[in-house]
Amino acid sequence: MALAQDQQQSTEQDEDATEIDKVVVTGSRIKRAEVEGPSPVTIITAQQIEREGFNTVYDALNTLSQATGSVQNEIFQSGFTPNASVINLRGLGPGRTLLLINGRRAADYPLPYNGQSNFQNFGNIPAAAVERIEILAGGASAIYGSDAVAGVVNIVLKTNFEGDLVKLGGWTTSRGGRDQFDLQWIGGKTGDNWSLTYAFEYYYSEPLFAYQRDFMDSLQDNPLPPAIGGIQPIGTMRLRNRTRTTNNYIAPPAGACEQFGDEWVRWNYVSSISGANLGQACGTFNDVGYQTIANKNDDLSGYLYGTYDFDNGMQVWASLQAWKSDGASTGGTQFWAGPTVGQIWFDPQFNTFVDAQRVFTPQESGGVESLLSHYDERSYDFAVGLKGTIADRFDWDATISRAEYHIDAAQPRLVASLVNDWFLGPRLGTQSGFPVYRLNTARYYRALTPAEFSALSTKVKTKAESEVTQASFVFTGDLFQLPAGPLGFATVLEAASQAYDLDADPRILPDRREIYNLTGTGGGGERDRYAFGVEFSIPILDSLKASLAGRYDKYDDVTNVDDAKTWNAGLEWRPFDSLLVRSSYSTSFRAPDMHYVFAERSGAFSAIFDTRRCLETGRTSTQCGGTDPTFNYTAFSVRQGSTGLEEETGKSWTAGFVWDVMDGLSITADYYEIELEGVVADITTTFILDSEAGCVTGLTRNRTPFQYAPGSAFCQDILSRVSRINAPGTTQDGQISEIRRGPINRAFLGTKGIDASLDYRLDTDRWGDFRWVLAWSHTLEQTTQQFRTDPTLSYRDDLTNFDFRSRIRSTWTWNKGDWEAAVFMLRYGSLPNWQETGRIAPYFVWNVGVGKKLTENLSVNFQVNNVFDKLHPKDEGFNSYPYFWRAYSPIGREFGAEIQYRFK
């Protein structure tokens, strides 16, 4: 029997033990003695999280070698979920990894990822309550149902803890800022027939602003200045004559730029395309530095778990996990750019058409703290269950649980009517289809006081909540004896009700647009789900075991998802006691995210290329010019959910081995392949506009024949998504007034690769005990197909793909007597360079920790994370702020210390 520990598993248990109690491991409901099964499972213990230098559960999960996919994180605060932490296993998307708490589904994060889809927040799990984390990176819908497509992360919380342990820790950075504090109290009591485990944690981290890092505090950090004009500041007080292409900036009066001291500069701008002189305006290099690159977190959490044993052998248990967070972040300063963003107006005092851009400094708004958005988040998970044994052969467990997640978000923004009236006053009419206003130059060219800015501002408040109520009954045991051993069996019955409600501030909805430069989305709905599953563990020979599972899920909601049938099968062959050869195949499904279904209309302004207008002039898209306003302008688009969505379906299989090479040395290697059909994703604005042009003109961008006929169902749908202005005789005639986007079931997404690990232990009497654990994941191929009529494309090596092709994590540990030490390494594989001409080098981060047990009850630990203060790999062509890819942390070296005291 191969008992090689997984690459992440700690050795806190007695290594001399010869008997292993049967336990349930993620990926199966049948209890088993073997740690390794037909599907590879990674295990991270609480001790490992601490030893490797991580302050939170998410910090540890984010280093998984399988987490190769790109995600939005705290560097980019323009996202819709800036206070959530997501995992993207295998590059298949955040929503395709299922989060379980003690085997139960966690509530979704109430705000949608990228404003589109639901996901689960891995940042609200208190480290104090965690016993271990089990990760299965592959399809597991036959066991857990929907969403277990890319993998399952099961957070196993502490039980049967004895005594009390208090931990007090603090961290800071060598570059300044980002101080952190953590206080944990973990304890438990047991009696003859009862137990109680509890954990409480308070965690605080201060916000970190971009101006606190000298490599991203200014536009002058750009490693590749434009060839023409060089690095130029952001235009902060700019007025432009739109009837000219040169010398079109209307110079601000004397003293306008200088009133802000070193914050602004007076600048002679030139075109970065032609080199033509544009004129004079105020500008700043520093505006980018006012966004947060690490959030403020002020978190309080608690956990209780209790059991009571009856005389008849039954046990009742209950658990409660609660979490409260006060988070804060900002995307930086606010600005005003005309009646609506980018809008041109006719101004009689200049006797021409103009547009403007006026950026407000932090001093005008009342300081950097006034820029922060605040997130009051609360979640809880309550469960109660009864379990017992029948005929000493079968175990049963009946559970009812309820999980909720609530968010109140408050975001400072300008009120459109107030700021427009402040700078423009009343509308004076219309000229050539454009509004007529007279700019109040006295207000425009002077600094606002904080009181004036406050009078033009408001707090945009969004409330969101999600919930899931679940009931399950699990029955498991050995059915009967076969020649090679007992036939293991498990069955599960489940019923669940899921709901969410996103109550956006009505002023940001697209039909009102009362808040300047901000739109949003509302939504809400519910669904019920029922499921039945069965699983078998079948011994075929002494050395060969098969597993087989099937599940039926029935959905009661408004979508086209009626039911889903999934199954999996696995084989475990042990030709020798030291070798396990394994393989598994599974089907999976994912019901459409509720926000994909129930999202209400949301809107946004974005730069578009009007393909139809271009083709109607007889030219190709490349001949229409990147600056011609006839084809390149800002348009309003709206997005709405769709009740016509179907479930995504998938299949995955793995094959590999676990080999105990010798005493203390084991290796694993597994090949994986995952394929998804009917992937739900938004249809893009570019696709809509290109298709609209094709349906009208019969041509593609390059004037080749378009594949769909004008009267086809496809063209009818596409043409219904675009509205245009009917204003003959004006420059706006034929311009797009609205584009309607939304989610659809697209065709295909696939990935394949290799996971491997090494675990080596060396125990010595003189020098102590050593261990080296290494995990490696390598993506061999990524494929996609946008629509069923499109060719399948391989995009792993595409120079626009910023998923990591490989990741390696490794830990070296040593302990002797009262001392212990650890060295952790994370290697990110290469990524494309920003200019898409090649790839940049891999990237390494090292953490080092050392601990000493001072007395029987008292110990101290010291930690240095990112020992060499590595930031991001050099990419001299990365000329887009922040001048490095968002997967790399800007925090730098961290120092930490922790003291622990155990009460007995």
pLDDT in tens, 366-421: 999 999 999 999 999 999 999 999 988 899 999 999 999 999 999 999 999 999 99
The Cα–Cα gap between 589 and 341 comes to 42
Q: Given a cut of 70, is residue 77 above it in pLDDT?
A: no
Residue 895 sits in a domain whose CATH number is 2.40.170.20
Q: Examine residue 202 and state whether it is found in any structural domain, yes or no.
A: yes
Looking at residue 789, what is its pLDDT?
A: 73
**How is 651-699 classified by DSSP, letter by letter?**
EEEEEEEEEEEETTEEEEEEEEEEEEES-EEEEPHHHHHHHHHHHHHSB
Q: Given a cut of 50, is residue 714 above it in pLDDT?
A: yes
Looking at residue 785, what is its pLDDT?
A: 87
Structure tokens at 458: 């408001």
Mind listing the pLDDT tens digit for each residue in 156-188? 999 989 999 999 999 999 999 999 999 999 999
The one-letter amino acid at 601: R
In total, how many domains does the chain have? Answer: 1
Torsion-angle region of residue 147: left (phi > 0), alpha (psi -120 to 50) or beta? left
Query: pLDDT tier at 75 (50, 70, 90 boundaries)?
Result: low
Task: Please say whether the beta carbons of 777 and 11 come within 8 A.
Answer: no
Q: What phi and psi, each to the nearest 5 degrees, are found at residue 58?
A: -65, -40
The Cα–Cα gap between 867 and 64 comes to 20
Looking at residue 412, what is its pLDDT?
A: 96
Q: What is the 3-state secondary structure (H, E, C) of 170-185?
A: EEEECCCCCCEEEEEE
Q: Given a cut of 70, is residue 660 above it in pLDDT?
A: yes
DSSP state of 117: B
Looking at residue 484, what is its pLDDT?
A: 93
Mind listing the pLDDT tens digit for each residue in 816-870? 999 999 999 999 999 999 999 999 999 999 999 999 999 999 999 999 999 999 9
Q: Where are the alpha helices (DSSP H) in 99-162?
A: 141-144
Q: Examine residue 173 and state whether it is found in any structural domain, yes or no.
A: yes
Arithmetic mean of pLDDT, 513-534? 91
Least-confidence region, from 572-586, 681-695, 717-731: 717-731
With a pLDDT cut of 70, the percent of the chain lying above it is 95
DSSP state of 873: -
**Listed residue (844, 664, 659) closest to 771, CA to CA:** 664
Maximum average pLDDT range among 4-8, 19-23, 468-472: 468-472
Burial class for 393, CB neighbours closer than 10 Å (0-12, 13-18, 19+): exposed
Q: Examine residue 367 and state whether it is found in any structural domain, yes or no.
A: no
With a pLDDT cut of 90, the percent of the chain lying above it is 69
Least-confidence region, from 108-122, 463-477, 514-528, 883-897: 108-122
The Cα–Cα gap between 540 and 570 comes to 12
Task: Please say whether the beta carbons of 302 and 200 come within 8 A.
Answer: yes
The Cα–Cα gap between 165 and 199 comes to 9
Q: Which domain holds residue 160?
A: 41-210+294-330+374-411+462-598+646-679+747-903
Q: Examine residue 777 and state whether it is found in any structural domain, yes or no.
A: yes
Q: What phi and psi, each to the nearest 5 degrees, are found at residue 47?
A: -65, -35
Average pLDDT over the chain reads 90
Arithmetic mean of pLDDT, 732-760? 91
Mind listing the pLDDT tens digit for each residue in 577-613? 999 999 999 999 999 988 899 988 887 777 889 999 9
Q: Examine residue 551 and state whether it is found in any structural domain, yes or no.
A: yes
Beta strands in 102-227 (DSSP E): 104-105, 130-136, 151-157, 163-173, 180-190, 194-205, 208-209
Which residues share a beta bridge with 724?
Answer: 736
Q: What is the 3-state secondary structure (H, E, C) of 765-819?
A: CCCEEEEEEEEEEEEEEEEEECCCCCCCEECCCCCCCCCCCEEEEEEEEEEECCE
Q: Which helix (H) or strand (E) holds 451?
A: helix 450-455
Looking at residue 9, what is its pLDDT?
A: 38
Looking at residue 576, what is its pLDDT?
A: 92
**Listed residue (541, 562, 539, 538) closest to 552, CA to CA:** 562
Arithmetic mean of pLDDT, 234-249? 93
Query: pLDDT tier at 112 (50, 70, 90 boundaries)?
Result: confident
The Cα–Cα gap between 866 and 848 comes to 8
Task: Please say whether the beta carbons of 623 and 611 come within 8 A.
Answer: no
Q: Given a cut of 50, is residue 20 above it in pLDDT?
A: no
Mind listing the pLDDT tens digit for each residue in 454-494? 999 999 999 999 999 999 999 999 999 999 999 999 999 99
Looking at residue 14, what is its pLDDT?
A: 36
SS3 of residue 700 by DSSP: coil
Mind listing the pLDDT tens digit for each residue in 113-141? 877 788 888 888 889 999 999 998 888 88
- pTM to 2 decimals? 0.89
Taking every pair of Cα atoms in the chain, the longest distance, rounded to a whole number of angstroms, is 97
CA torsion sign for 455, 459, 460, 461 is: negative
Q: Examine residue 21 and state whether it is found in any structural domain, yes or no.
A: no
Q: Examine residue 696 and state whether it is found in any structural domain, yes or no.
A: no
Task: Please say whether the beta carbons of 95 and 109 come within 8 A.
Answer: no
Query: pLDDT tier at 80 (50, 70, 90 boundaries)?
Result: low
Q: Examine residue 866 and state whether it is found in any structural domain, yes or no.
A: yes
